[in-house]
Structure 1
Amino acid sequence: MRPLFMLLCLIAGLMTGSAMAQEGSLPTGADPESEPERITSWGPRVEGETFEYSTGGQTYQGYLARNVNDNRPRPAVLVVHEWWGLDSYARARADQLAALGFVALAVDMYGDGQVATHPDQAGEFSSQVMQDWPAARARFEAAMSQLRQHPAVADTGMAALGYCFGGSVIMNMALSGMPLEAVISFHGAPIQAASARGGFNGAVQIHNGGADSLVERGDLSAMARALEAQGADVDVITYPQALHGFTNPGAGALAEEFGLPLGYNAAADASSWQAALLLLDRTLNQ
């Protein structure tokens, strides 16, 4: 009988609340001016700022996003951009993470906040980074080191997300033993650039489009095996109809403008993002 009693109470409460809403009234004695302050709390207010760090005599301009309504230190997540550079898409992903309770740093892998406007330029920028892996690692380490000193960052582990070029960067960070709790790659190129390997006991998620013509399946399998050999817990998730760049709503426009085999896939984007958030929660929110 108890479940039925609770159900009846719930229905009665809903009917009462509905009647009050229709009448536009408040409970007896309530002050219309003070009531919202008493019964509500503030949701996230995300603010972003330029986050500079230096290494090798060069300055890098990242983008730090956090919820300024939360005064407690929170776990940090680094976001590595596509081959275009630290553009609005990478910043938007950092904002999303900040709204969900993380301190998010979208890193600048090219220096001085450079952003490519043509695929040829993007290819040049990204190749320079991947061909000099010690310098690439130093840039990422500089960002991590300075991020740890930020008062909004909790003294816990960090994670990293990467898109396209950024996915390749963070998979290689895991290969080289970077101290990260989780690494999550979205349509990342499985190029093994790390010149020195190190143990990695974190979790790795690799999200890849089944229709991605820019990623060789053999290379992807080889990357997964290499990460497992370093001690990583690897999960490769493939989305059958997804093209390269499937998480970026602007991929279709770029494909049309430059004739690239890119495409946004809303279902794959939503599914991969949910899986990523579950992993971040498991590894960073103890």
Structure 2
Amino acid sequence: MTIQTRSILYTHEGHTFEGVLAWDDAQSGARPAVAVAHAWAGRTDFELGKARALAELGYVGFAMDVYGQGKRGHSKEENAALMTPLVQNRPLLQARLGAALQALQAQPEVDAARTAAIGFCFGGLSVLDMARCGLPVRGVVSFHGLFTPPGNTAGRRISAKVLALHGWDDPMAPPDAVLAFAREMSEAGADWQLHAYGGTLHAFTNPEANDPDFGTVYSARADARSWAAMRAFLAEVLA
């Protein structure tokens, strides 16, 4: 097994974005693919590591980019400045996610009919929006994602399967938001699941998260449990 990577450039409304594809070159032919939506800092080594890990599982991994080529945040303030305009303009976010998915599905290693998406924090919100707006994915997995509905998909049916992996003590998505998300998914007719991890805060999959006052703390236990849940989910939806 040798995991290969290459950059994929794609455009939307005159802006250039750069994702990174990861695949196992020991395999041949088209195979299922999983897009990885980034957290609020932009596409970093964290998301690339997840794309590579997915390639090790036999998928094509794709670390997406919705900020623009080379755009990264290096502080809470910079991250918020990059994320907030897209959280406030969900149709634009959804369109950029659609452009990334289209770029992924066009790659020769990819079975375009068998794609899914996973995302972390802001990326969790992003993949939930992929399901909400009907992008052609079989399933989405949100890791400690934000549940705020987009406002432009009310009344729409959700055909993609949905898995939300959530820290119950996450201050950025408190229990009221979780219950509202459950109602939204049910009203949309989604095949949805929610795994809530007790005693767990936001960003529980990120080993560098260690800011209790901000509500972001790594949990090795929740990290392992959520990855195992994702693996089972992907095996089901991409079979």
User: Fold conserved (TM > 0.5)?
Assistant: yes
* Partners of 1:190 and 1:220 within 8 A in 2: yes
Q: Give secondary structure in 2 for the equivalent of 1:63.
A: strand
Structure 1 Cα separation of the partners of residues 140 and 24 of structure 2: 22
Q: In the alignment, what sits opposite 2:175?
A: 217
How far is 1:194 from its partner? 4.5
Is it true that 1:227 corresponds to 2:193 in the alignment? no
Identify unmatched segments of 5+ residues in structure 1: 1-43
* Partners of 1:178 and 1:200 within 8 A in 2: no
* Partners of 1:207 and 1:236 within 8 A in 2: yes
How far is 1:222 from its partner? 1.1
Q: Which segment drifts farther, 224-233 or 72-81?
A: 224-233
* Partners of 1:156 and 1:284 within 8 A in 2: no
Aligned with 1:279 (options 217, 233, 236) = 233
Letter in 2 for 1:49: R
Structure 1 Cα separation of the partners of residues 121 and 112 of structure 2: 29
Letter in 1 for 2:230: A
Q: In the alignment, what sits opposite 1:201?
A: 159
Q: In the alignment, what sits opposite 1:135?
A: 92
Aligned with 2:218 (options 245, 253, 264) = 264
Structure 2 Cα separation of the partners of residues 150 and 159 of structure 1: 15
Is it true that 1:184 corresponds to 2:141 in the alignment? yes
Is it true that 1:106 corresponds to 2:63 in the alignment? yes
* Partners of 2:106 and 2:112 within 8 A in 1: no
Q: Which segment drifts farther, 163-172 or 222-231?
A: 222-231
Q: Give secondary structure in 2 for the equivalent of 1:158.
A: strand
Per-residue CA deviation, residues 96-151 of structure 1 (Å, 9 max, x unaligned), is 00111001111101111311001011111111112112211111111111211111
Is it true that 1:237 corresponds to 2:195 in the alignment? yes
The 3 A distance-change label for structure 1 pair 194 and 142 is farther
Letter in 2 for 1:232: A
Q: In the alignment, what sits opposite 1:72?
A: 29
Letter in 2 for 1:201: S
Structure 2 Cα separation of the partners of residues 108 and 190 of structure 1: 20
Report the count of equivalent residues. 238
Structure 1 Cα separation of the partners of residues 3 and 168 of structure 2: 34
Structure 1 Cα separation of the partners of residues 141 and 50 of structure 2: 13
Superposed CA RMSD: 1.4
Structure 2 Cα separation of the partners of residues 73 and 164 of structure 1: 30
Q: In the alignment, what sits opposite 1:249?
A: 207
Q: Which segment drifts farther, 228-237 or 73-82?
A: 228-237
How far is 1:260 from its partner? 2.5
Structure 1 Cα separation of the partners of residues 70 and 182 of structure 2: 31
Identity score, percent: 32
Letter in 2 for 1:51: I
Q: Could you say which structure has the larger radius of gyration? A: 1
Is it true that 1:82 corresponds to 2:39 in the alignment? yes
Q: Give secondary structure in 2 for the equivalent of 1:248.
A: coil
Q: Which segment drifts farther, 229-238 or 101-110?
A: 229-238
* Partners of 2:97 and 2:126 within 8 A in 1: no
Q: In the alignment, what sits opposite 2:54?
A: 97
How far is 1:179 from its partner? 2.1
Per-residue CA deviation, residues 53-79 of structure 1 (Å, 9 max, x unaligned), is 101100001111111121121101110
Q: Which structure has more RCO (C-alpha within 8 Å, separation ≥ 6)?
A: 2
Is it true that 1:47 corresponds to 2:18 in the alignment? no
Structure 1 Cα separation of the partners of residues 153 and 137 of structure 2: 17
Normalised TM-score (structure 1): 0.80
* Partners of 1:176 and 1:194 within 8 A in 2: no
The 3 A distance-change label for structure 1 pair 128 and 67 is same
Structure 1 Cα separation of the partners of residues 58 and 114 of structure 2: 15
More strand by share: 2
Structure 1 Cα separation of the partners of residues 92 and 170 of structure 2: 29
How far is 1:50 from its partner? 1.1
Identify unmatched segments of 5+ residues in structure 2: none
Structure 1 Cα separation of the partners of residues 49 and 68 of structure 2: 20
